[in-house]
């Protein structure tokens, strides 16, 4: 039995054909997955059969800002469903699993985001979550009347105010505000409606939100940035942190740092679940798992690997550097500070060439574990028991097989060890994550 109380948390983080950049080329992957609702239904129901806490969808509001010839070789962010629309449909064919959609604070308005996620929470019976991101793809700027991105810290300043506005709008209505008294003719209690009247640096929003207070009180908030400003934002508003941690030591440092920030923000240290990404290659033997990994790696086109690495580093052109030479010194980025730090530290720590590094970038720097179900479970248990994570966002390298393998082989091993649930604990995502239903800021007034 595990020494640490409770159970690990699991998210199924899904790209249409899988997370590996060459996933769609794998002979067992479904290459036409992006706009096939039957495919998404089967994935969601498989994850729910495996008792996953949540289904997690990424998003960009643009194609990758690559030359079209290179873009034509990848399957992600090309043509697919808008995630909130997709999750609204999936809410009808599932009953327990949480539904997490990504929405950027850089190219949205708070009222739109608050309304959509509150609606999804009602539609799903309390299973909605918003993954808050700040955009890093310059192609998104071009779709919204801009020629360049906001600078990194400015994006986070906007994101922090954006999140405060959304949370305020979610508290527009008190519980029980809609009395619907036909005899008196009173539809709602005026004392339980709270216009926001927000005026800030980036937004002016009166409110109230025209959606009632949602089943979870507020939808769950997920945040993915692990830079200093990202952690500060998470400590203020997030319920789940989606992390990129390469080593157990780094995971432990992140958890410790975040817990300290939570206390400074006036919250309890266990109010956030830290869930790093994990890409498992699962085989009946170590050799089979290694063969699955090598097969996908062999399908990476060199131009795509180089382009992807440059994008992860912040739209850096690496074409003038030898592939088998070292990564050049990069000190600033318009992209993700987390990604820049991750890949530059990885290159130095392991003395990697550019070619070797782009073969790590094909899964965006997340932890890759190859082996039997027992080995994958060992890794998860080690991180959980040693406070390097509260759970993991599982990133199947190709689909549907990668998710099937995890649900059929790894989940039973985790259950056997007492590390993971056998049945869902509650009806809402907050209940299953072990998070309290938040009181409205207006409660008791």
**What does each of the 445 residues of the chain score in pLDDT, given as a tens digit?**
457 888 999 999 999 999 998 999 999 999 999 999 999 999 999 999 999 999 999 998 888 878 888 888 888 888 899 999 999 999 999 999 999 999 999 999 999 999 999 999 999 999 999 999 988 777 888 888 888 778 878 888 999 999 999 999 999 999 999 999 999 999 999 999 999 999 999 999 999 999 999 999 999 999 987 788 889 989 999 999 998 888 999 999 999 999 999 999 999 988 999 999 999 999 999 999 999 999 999 998 888 888 888 877 877 778 778 888 888 887 666 666 777 777 888 878 888 888 888 887 777 778 899 999 999 999 999 999 999 999 999 999 999 999 999 999 999 999 999 999 999 999 999 999 999 999 888 876 6
Question: Which of the following CATH numbers is that of domain 9-285+367-433: 3.40.50.10320, 3.40.50.150, 3.20.20.30, 3.20.20.80?
Answer: 3.20.20.30
Q: Which two tokens stand for residue 85?
A: 């629309």
Beta strands in 49-188 (DSSP E): 54-57, 98-104, 128-133
Give the predicted TM-score (pTM) of the model: 0.91
Q: Is there a contact between 263 and 229 (Cβ–Cβ < 8 Å)?
A: no
Measured distance CA(257)–CA(104) in Å, rounded: 25
What is the CB-side half-sphere exposure of residue 297 using CA atoms within 13 A? 15
Q: Is there a contact between 212 and 177 (Cβ–Cβ < 8 Å)?
A: yes
Domain with CATH 3.20.20.30 in the chain: 9-285+367-433
Q: Is there a contact between 123 and 99 (Cβ–Cβ < 8 Å)?
A: no
């Amino acid at each position: 039995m595990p020494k640490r109380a409770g159970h690990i948390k699991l998210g199924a983080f899904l790209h249409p054909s899988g997370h590996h950049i060459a996933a769609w080329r794998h002979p067992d992957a479904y290459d036409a997955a992006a706009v096939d609702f039957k495919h998404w239904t089967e994935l969601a129901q498989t994850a729910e059969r495996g008792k996953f806490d949540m289904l997690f969808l990424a998003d960009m509001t643009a194609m990758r800002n690559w030359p079209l010839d290179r873009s034509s070789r990848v399957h992600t962010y090309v043509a697919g469903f808008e995630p909130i629309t997709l999750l609204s449909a999936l809410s009808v064919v599932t009953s327990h699993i949480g539904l997490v959609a990504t929405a950027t604070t850089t190219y949205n308005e708070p009222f739109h985001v608050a309304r959509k996620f509150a609606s999804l929470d009602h539609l799903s019976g309390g299973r909605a979550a918003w993954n808050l991101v700040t955009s890093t793809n310059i192609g998104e700027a071009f779709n919204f009347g801009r020629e360049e991105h906001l600078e990194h810290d400015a994006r986070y300043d906007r994101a922090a105010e954006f999140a405060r506005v959304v949370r305020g709008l979610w508290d527009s209505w008190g519980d029980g505000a809609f009395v619907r008294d036909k005899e008196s003719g009173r539809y709602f209690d005026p004392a339980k409606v709270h216009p926001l009247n927000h005026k800030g640096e980036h937004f002016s929003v009166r409110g109230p939100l025209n959606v009632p207070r949602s089943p979870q009180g507020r939808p769950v908030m997920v945040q993915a940035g692990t830079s200093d400003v990202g952690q500060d934002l998470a400590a203020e508003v997030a319920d789940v942190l989606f992390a990129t941690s390469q080593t157990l030591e780094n995971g432990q440092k992140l958890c410790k740092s975040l817990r300290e920030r939570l206390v400074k923000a006036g919250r309890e240290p266990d109010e956030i679940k830290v869930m790093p990404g994990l890409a498992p290659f699962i085989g009946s033997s170590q050799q089979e798992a290694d063969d699955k990994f090598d097969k996908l790696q062999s399908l990476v086109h060199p131009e795509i690997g180089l382009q992807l690495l440059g994008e992860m580093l912040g739209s850096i052109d690496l074409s003038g550097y030898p592939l088998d030479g070292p990564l050049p010194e990069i000190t600033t980025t318009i992209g993700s500070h987390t990604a820049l730090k991750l890949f530059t530290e990885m290159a130095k720590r392991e003395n990697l060439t550019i070619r070797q590094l782009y073969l790590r970038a094909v899964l965006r720097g997340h932890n890759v574990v190859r082996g039997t179900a027992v080995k994958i479970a060992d890794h998860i248990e080690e991180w959980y028991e040693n406070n390097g994570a509260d759970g993991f966002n599982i990133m199947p390298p190709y689909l549907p097989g990668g998710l099937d393998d995890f649900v059929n082989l790894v989940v039973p091993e985790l259950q056997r060890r007492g590390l993971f649930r056998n049945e869902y604990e509650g009806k809402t995502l907050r209940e299953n994550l072990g998070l309290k239903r938040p009181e409205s800021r207006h409660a008791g007034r």
